Structure 1
Amino acid sequence: MAVSVTLPALGESVTEGTVTRWLKAEGERVEADEPLLEVSTDKVDTEIPAPSAGVLTSIKVAEDETVEVGAELAVIDDGGAAPAEAPAAEPAPAAEPAPAAQPEPAPAPAAEAPAPAAAAPAGGAEGTDVVLPALGESVTEGTVTRWLKEVGESVEADEPLLEVSTDKVDTEIPAPVAGTLLEILVGEDETAEVGAKLAVIGAAGAAPAAAPAEAPAAPAPAPEPVQEAPAPAPAPQAPSAPAPQAVTPEPVAPEPAPAAPAPAPAPAATIPAPAAPEAEGAYVTPLVRKLAAENNVALSTVKGTGVGGRIRKQDVIAAAEAAKAAQAAQAQAPAAAAPKAAPQEVSPLRGQTIKMPRMRKVIGDNMMKALHSQAQLTSVVEVDVTKVMRLRARAKEAFAQREGVKLSPMPFFVKAAVQALKAHPAINARINEDDNTITYFDVENVGIAVDAEKGLMTPVIKNAGDLNIAGLSKKTAELAGKVRSNKITPDEVSGATFTISNTGSRGALFDTIIVPPNQVAILGIGATVKRPVVITHPELGETIAVRDMTYVALSYDHRLVDGADAARYLTAVKEILEAGEFEVDLGL
Structure 2
Amino acid sequence: MSEPIKMPALGESVTEGTVTTWLKEVGDTVEADEPILEVSTDKVDTEVPAPAAGVLEKIEVGEDETVEVGTVLGYIGDGSSSNSSSDDSSKEEEKTEEPEEKNEEQPKESAEPSQSSGDSSDAVEVKMPALGESVTEGTVTTWLKEVGDAVEEDEPILEVSTDKVDTEVPAPAAGVITKIIVNEDETVEVGTVLAIIGGESDGSAAEEPKKEEPQAEETMQAEEPEAKEEPKEEAKPAPAAAPAPQASAPSETVSSDSAYVTPIVRKLAKDLGVDLGSVKGSGVGGRVRRQDVEAAAEAAKAAASAVASTPAAAPAPVAAAPAGGSVKAQMAEKAVQASSKRGTRQKMNGLRKTIAKRMVESLQTSAQLTTVMEVDVTRIVALRAQAKNAFVAREGVKLTYLPFFIKAATEALKAHPIINSSVEGSEIVYHNVEHVGIAVDTEKGLFVPVIKNAGDLNIAGISKAVGDLAARTRDGKIGADEMAGSTFTITNTGSIGAIFDTPIINQPNVAIMGTGAIFKAPGVVKDQDGNEVISIRSKCYLSISYDHRIVDGADASRFLRDVKARLEEGDFGAEIGL
- TM-score range (shorter-chain normalised) is 0.5 to 0.7
Give the Cα separation in 2 of the matches to 1:578 and 1:339.
35
Give the Cα separation in 2 of the matches to 1:516 and 1:107.
56
**1:353 Cα deviation from its structure 2 partner:** 2.5
**1:426 Cα deviation from its structure 2 partner:** 0.7
Give the Cα separation in 2 of the matches to 1:515 and 1:486.
24
- Counterpart secondary structure, 2:514: strand
Give the Cα separation in 1 of the matches to 2:516 and 2:475.
26
Change in CA separation of 1:146 and 1:534 when aligned onto 2, cut-off 3 Å: same
The reply on whether 1:343 has 2:276 as its aligned counterpart is no
- Counterpart secondary structure, 1:401: helix
**Which is higher, the Rg of structure 1 or of structure 2?**
1
Give the Cα separation in 2 of the matches to 1:401 and 1:189.
55
- Percent of counterpart pairs with the same letter? 40
The reply on whether 1:544 has 2:540 as its aligned counterpart is no
Give the Cα separation in 2 of the matches to 1:186 and 1:449.
38
The reply on whether 1:247 has 2:202 as its aligned counterpart is yes
Change in CA separation of 1:398 and 1:313 when aligned onto 2, cut-off 3 Å: farther
Give the Cα separation in 1 of the matches to 2:372 and 2:524.
19
1:372 alignment partner, one of 350, 364, 369 = 364
Give the Cα separation in 2 of the matches to 1:388 and 1:241.
59
The reply on whether 1:360 has 2:356 as its aligned counterpart is no
Specify the code of the residue in structure 2 equivalent to 1:246: S
Specify the code of the residue in structure 1 equivalent to 2:114: A
Specify the code of the residue in structure 2 equivalent to 1:455: G
Partner of 2:34: none
1:135 alignment partner, one of 132, 136, 146 = 132
Partner of 2:166: 170
Specify the code of the residue in structure 2 equivalent to 1:343: M
Contact 2:418 2:551 in 1 (8 A): yes
- Counterpart secondary structure, 2:472: helix
Matches within 5 A, 1:144-543: 165-168=160-163, 169-171=165-167, 183=174, 194=190, 240-241=196-197, 246-248=201-203, 290-293=223-226, 296-298=228-230, 305-311=269-275, 342-344=330-332, 345-346=334-335, 347=338, 348-433=340-425, 436-539=426-529, 541-543=531-533
Specify the code of the residue in structure 1 equivalent to 2:544: L
Across the aligned residues of Structure 1 and Structure 2, the Cα RMSD in angstroms comes to: 5.0
- Counterpart secondary structure, 1:517: coil
**1:189 Cα deviation from its structure 2 partner:** 8.7
**1:119 Cα deviation from its structure 2 partner:** 5.7
Specify the code of the residue in structure 2 equivalent to 1:118: S
Contact 1:171 1:486 in 2 (8 A): no
Give the Cα separation in 2 of the matches to 1:187 and 1:479.
41
Specify the code of the residue in structure 2 equivalent to 1:247: D
Partner of 1:232: none
**1:383 Cα deviation from its structure 2 partner:** 0.8
Specify the code of the residue in structure 2 equivalent to 1:517: Q
**1:120 Cα deviation from its structure 2 partner:** 4.6
Contact 1:188 1:271 in 2 (8 A): no
- For these two proteins, the number of residue pairs brought into alignment is 388
Give the Cα separation in 2 of the matches to 1:308 and 1:339.
34
Contact 2:160 2:350 in 1 (8 A): no
Specify the code of the residue in structure 1 equivalent to 2:556: A
Contact 2:101 2:115 in 1 (8 A): no
**1:343 Cα deviation from its structure 2 partner:** 1.7
Give the Cα separation in 2 of the matches to 1:367 and 1:313.
32
Give the Cα separation in 1 of the matches to 2:361 and 2:545.
16
The reply on whether 1:118 has 2:82 as its aligned counterpart is no
Specify the code of the residue in structure 1 equivalent to 2:433: V
Contact 1:431 1:437 in 2 (8 A): yes
TM-score by length of 2: 0.55
Give the unaligned 5+ runs of structure 2.
1-98, 183-187, 234-254, 257-265, 280-317
Give the Cα separation in 2 of the matches to 1:486 and 1:349.
25
Specify the code of the residue in structure 2 equivalent to 1:352: T
Give the Cα separation in 2 of the matches to 1:568 and 1:167.
38
**1:374 Cα deviation from its structure 2 partner:** 2.2
Change in CA separation of 1:453 and 1:163 when aligned onto 2, cut-off 3 Å: farther
Partner of 2:285: none
Specify the code of the residue in structure 2 equivalent to 1:311: D
Give the Cα separation in 2 of the matches to 1:471 and 1:507.
26
* Cα-to-partner distance string for 1:245-281 (whole Å, 9 max, x where unaligned): 611499xxxxxxxxxxxxxxxx9xx99999999xxxx
Give the Cα separation in 2 of the matches to 1:312 and 1:389.
35
Change in CA separation of 1:356 and 1:133 when aligned onto 2, cut-off 3 Å: closer
Give the Cα separation in 1 of the matches to 2:129 and 2:101.
39
